[in-house]
Amino acid sequence: MSKEAKFSFSFVNVGQGSLQLIEEGDSTNIVVDCNLEGAPEFVKRYFGRRRVNQIDLLILSGKDADHADADGLEFLSNNWAIKRIWYSDFEKDSDNWDEVQKIIDDLEAGGTIVETPKAGDELSLGGFKLKVLSPHDDDSTTCNNASIVVRIEADQVAAIFPGDCELSRWENVTKYFAKYLPANLLLVPHHGSDNGCDEELLKAIAPEYSVISAGEDNQYGHPDKKILKLVTKHTSKAVYITYQDGSILFESDGETITKVIPDAGQEDEGKKVAKVAKVAGALGQKAPVFVTRTGALSTTGSLGATALRPTVSHGGETALDDDQEED
């Protein structure tokens, strides 16, 4: 992390899914969601470059696979100790969630604290203060509206992570938690879906920066054009989309956002990698794997291409050690 950065917020580009890393120096790490889509090796390198040694809190904002993926959770739990997990207690019947629940149960048996927070709950973790704005039993009638919506404060800087919360739930969030809505950073609800937010909500949040986590040419048409227009209108500084801008790193001194780094984890040489179609089974092959700026994987690259994508912080341009270089 840069010397002046006390806190950082990474919106990691994992395709049509969700994964965020929130850090206080080298001491406290919060991860939101665990869908790694086609980029688990990039996530491993990114977390390594950020010197993540453990996950103090993993928040699974929803139970659908684009937020809580069994393979993603297994990947994280195999590589980092997870001290605490939050997830929604909304009943979800799917093969993926059944597998996620199994992994959670195993982690709990091994000492991980497992909780299902509700609207109004609070937690202090290192220098962070977390306020849960949703779910609430009264109107958590769908899996999306049972999403965990959390406001994370880092001194005077705040960010909102809303999962797939939809308009029918936002009405009560706005009614009861209006004073907690203004934020410097917003992860746009439901990947920029047309029913994830509206103008009233965006006015209440009034973010400086907004990020939409979505995959290129995704089948859902995320982000919706009208929502993108509204988000742009009510975001005072900049709007980023992961499939266009790669992973976005925000650094903060606790008073303001001091630096914004698009394409975080993408070194100059990595930008020479040719844009190619997804390679089926790339993760299972032993051939070199290259990561494009959109988070896609390929076993081929243009001249000078590299699989190494360091962040600009924590040592920047070279691997931490020889073993990591060969991951």
- What is the distance between the alpha carbons of residues 17 and 15, in angstroms, rounded to a whole number? 6
Kindly state whether residue 282 falls inside one of the protein's structural domains: no
Q: What is the pLDDT along the chain (327 residues), one digit of tens a residue?
A: 445 589 999 999 988 889 999 999 989 999 999 998 778 889 999 999 999 999 999 999 999 888 999 999 999 999 999 999 999 988 887 899 999 999 999 999 999 999 999 999 999 999 999 999 999 988 888 888 888 999 999 999 999 999 888 888 888 999 999 999 999 999 999 888 888 888 999 999 999 999 998 888 777 777 888 989 999 999 999 999 998 999 999 999 999 999 999 999 875 433 333 233 233 343 443 344 444 444 444 455 444 433 433 333 332 333 333 343 333
In a domain, 279, yes or no: no
Domain residues for 241?
7-261
Residue 266 maps to a domain = no
Query: 297-298 and 290-291 as β-strands: parallel, antiparallel, unpaired?
Result: antiparallel
CB 73 within 8 A of CB 34: yes
309, part of any domain: no
Let me know if residue 302 belongs to a domain.
no
- 297 assigned to some structural domain: no
Buried b (16+ CB within 10 A) or exposed e, 254-275: eeebbebbebbbbbeebeebee
In a domain, 308, yes or no: no
CA 163 to chain centre: 10
Return the CATH number at 17. 3.60.15.10
Task: Compute the half-sphere exposure of residue 179: CA atoms within 13 Å on the CB side of its CA.
Answer: 1
pTM: 0.81
The domain tally of the chain equals 1
Q: Report the first-to-last Cα separation within the chain, whole angstroms.
A: 22
Domain presence at residue 268: no
